[in-house]
Structures are given as C-alpha cells and as structure tokens.
Amino acid sequence: MNAPGWLTALVSTLMIFVAGYSAWRLAVSRAWGRVTDYESDVLHFAVGIAAAGLVASWAHTLPRSVWTGLFIAGGVYFAVRTYRGWADHAARGKLLAHTACCAILVYMFLAGVAPSTLSGSTAGEYTMAGMPGMIVDQTITYPSIGLIFVVGLCFYAVVVLNQMQPPEEDEGNSALDADDRVTGGGSLILAPRSVDVCRIAIVLVLAYAILTKLV
C-alpha cells in the first residue's frame, strides 16, 4: 500500500514531536522541581527519531545498522532490568514493554521496513508490479512476525488507554493537579498522562509502518 503523502508527513512529524517533547521533559524536569521517568523519556526520544525515518525518507538520520545496534543494546539493558526487578510489580510491566519495543524496532530495521522508493512513504510489496519500467517495492521479510507485532502493538495501545486515570478521579485530592502523580519519595511526576499519550502514539505509528509494508 502506497500511503498518501500528507499522511506520511503527518505521521513522521508526530514522531519528531514525540522525540522533541521527550527531550524537553528531560531538560526541564529538574528545573521545575519535578521527577520524570528517564528511561521512558530516553527511549521515546530514540524511538521517535528512528520511527520518523522508517516512515519518511526526509526524516532519515542514522544508518540502519547503527539504529539496529542501539536498539539491540537497549533491549538487552531493559531485559536485564526486567529480570532484576521482576519482583517489583509496578515496574515489571513498563520494563517488559520497553524490552518489547526495542525488539520490535530491531525487527523493523532488519526486516526492511523503510520509506518507499516511489513516493517517500512506507509502501507494500509490489507497487504497479508487472508494468515495464516501474519500480518494484519489496515487502518485509518474515511478514507473519510483523503481523503478530501489529496485533500486539494495537492491544498494548488499548491497555495503556484503559489504564490512563481520568482527571475526575483526582478531584478529591486538592493538593495535586489533575495530571500529577506522586512517587514513593513524595515527589511530583511531570505530566505522567502525556507520557502515556506519547506511548500510544509510538505503538500506533510502529503498527502503521509495519502494516503498510504488509498490505
């Protein structure tokens, strides 16, 4: 499927915004006297830039081999963190999700998810195949794995959306803003719901990038 140019630009710009917002959180959290999830913000920053390059050619940055190595290292790091912190039920799910995210990015780079050679967008297996002189856009390898990842990504997006706490539940605590949570040390987290929104945007874009190579 050759995605429309406007949709490609919108999706890649969204990923760059997610990367920029994650970098901004890292920069201002301490100055504002708030805490942030450094692991999530760093991962979202890297995934945002990498995913933008997987969707649109104008957003390409590092070589695919470099991105692959970075996400392999990230996956190993989060896998070790998951193993060591398995007893921490609060952190286990997040660490497993980070490990899976890195694994999916490694698959995407190795399987051939990339902008189309025709219009700069992610495209399907054969675009105008069989016509003389036309460019053939190859599909990704191991498409069944990609389809499994797409289903898992969509399911995870629903789980994150379902777990997002509505603002009405915070009205009983006047000491906190509607978008604040408190860590075990009593520190306020910087805009935790915005991190969930970024997480949902990332998983949906990754699913989109894989699907447009499968369809």
pLDDT in tens, 36-73: 889 999 999 999 999 999 999 999 999 999 999 999 99
Helix/strand number for the chain, H first, E second: 6, 0
Give the pLDDT confidence score for residue 138 in this predicted structure: 59
Is the model's pTM score more than 0.75?
Answer: yes
- The residue ranking higher by pLDDT, 38 or 165, is 38
Of 161, 211, 152, 195, the residue nearest 7 (C-alpha)? 211
Range of 178's domain? 5-214
Looking up tokens 């390059």 gives: 53
Tell me what the mean pLDDT of segment 115-140 comes to: 51
Torsion, Cα 25 189 34 21, to 10 degrees, reads 10
Give the pLDDT confidence score for residue 35 in this predicted structure: 85
- Total structural domains within the chain: 1
C-beta of residue 104 within 8 angstroms of C-beta of residue 74: no
pLDDT at 171 over 50: no
| DSSP characters over 81-149 | HHHHTTT-HHHHHHHHHHHHHHHHHHHHHHHT--B-TTTSSB--S-SSTTSTTPPP----SSHHHHHHH
Tell me what the mean pLDDT of segment 184-198 comes to: 78
Could you give phi then psi for residue 189, rounded to 5 degrees?
-85, 140
Instruction: Give the confidence band of 173 by pLDDT, cuts at 50, 70, 90.
Output: very low
Give the pLDDT confidence score for residue 148 in this predicted structure: 95
